A = this chain, B = another copy of it.
Amino acid sequence: MQEATLCDAQDGLAPFREKFMLPAGMIYLDGNSLGALPKATPARLQQVITQEWGQDLIQSWNKHQWLDAPLRIGDKLTRLLGARPGEVVVADSTSINIFKLLSAALPLRPERRVILADSESFPTDLYMVQGLIQLLGQDYRLRLVATEALSHALNDEVALVLLSQVNYKTGALLDIAQITTQAHDAGALIVWDLAHSCGVIPLELTAWNVDFAVGCGYKYLNGGPGAPAFLYVAHTHQATVQPLLSGWLGHVEPFSFVTEYHPAPGIRRHLCGTPPILSLLALECGVDLLLEADLHAIREKSMALGDFFIAQMTPLGFSLASPRNAEDRGSQVAFRHPQGYAIIQALIAEGVIGDFRAPDILRFGFAPLYVSFSDVAQSVAILHDIMATGRWDQPAFHQRQTVT
């Protein structure tokens, strides 16, 4: 505990904790699933609701730049993504955006019929591919391989590769630059899911030559539950990639109300329907707060928190499911335990919020802007006590609930 106090005292990001509303008596290690509430958000949303919606009503689309918000927030995100202005837009959900990008990118490789993905992808990524393939017919297929076999599975049948930078269960981190080059060398294009990395790992999509990417607003971006997602299309592909979820806000002139779809130039064509403004502007608060911090400092602290957690856990006999080396991990650490579900419930009952991923993963996320080293030390102490006393083994903790 002394070591934790020392680390906290030296933590340059510590002041950010005060910018979040954190519940008293809770240690929140699930910011990788739903980020915490920035203190600025409630007042901003109250303003959006009572003034912009309530008083200015329909005029707010122009007067308060609601119409510009998806691109404005997208441009802010380019700073986290190492992308160029005009390459990112906020819209819809990660699932929908995956469908958008895959369906729009396939025609760039018309002779190829395989979408290659990691069998350990977050399932919705795979489900969206399955739906798209069913819709397309024509011998399109999804090829699932284990992470370590990815490079061997790249051949001239592969049109697109769909990968998550960070494994949602284990936190294992892939090398975007290297794999993107391998995909390109095989003639394929690549779509990266950055749900578990954007906002917590410095990214260089331009430098890494990434074609397409999607990501999530409600994890490390602290955008609120179900916040809209984002999508990125590299400058070089923007003119050639035509949206097939072709809604009116992606039209070149949405207010001309013509019957034929013509896509807008640039990234705006990937907008579809009218965006959920309340959720969208809550996301902007989270992004603005994140942009005040140095992303490299965030990454340093994230790795240190994870290492500290693993070191503290070692004597407890859980089996580490995450890479031991911090450079190879995202901002979460996972352990396996056959009784993982009940143990997580016991932890939650005592105010330590981690989560469980079937079949046996206990997952702990470290959001460096509001998690301290003392939080980590205290969590492990509580877990230790729960295991030592066996008080995880109660009927209530074995009852399954849905959690996201």
Contacts and interface: CB of A to CB of B under 8 A. Distances in A.
Interface stretch (A53-61, A203-211, A310-318, A375-383): A53-61
Number of copies of this kind of chain in the complex: 2
Specify which of A127, A128, A282 lies most central, judged by the most chain B CB atoms within 10 Å of its CB. A127
A182 interface: no
Contact of A131 (B49, B119, B245): B245
Given A45-B278, A103-B135, A259-B144, A353 B95 contact: no
B278 A127 contact: no
Contact of A46 (B46, B57, B134, B273): B46
A254 interface: yes
A52 B127 CA distance: 29
Contact of A225 (B45, B66, B218): B66
Contacts of A41: 49
Contacts of A279: 276-279
Contact of A256 (B134, B259, B358): B358
Interface in A92-107: 92-96, 99, 103
Interface stretch (A153-161, A226-234, A298-306): A226-234
Top 3 A-B residue pairs of the complex, sorted by shortest distance between their CB atoms: A93-B273, A276-B279, A95-B273
20 contacts: A21-B54, A34-B53, A41-B49, A45-B49, A52-B225, A58-B353, A58-B404, A59-B348, A61-B225, A62-B401, A92-B92, A96-B96, A96-B272, A130-B246, A130-B261, A135-B135, A224-B277, A225-B274, A254-B404, A257-B357
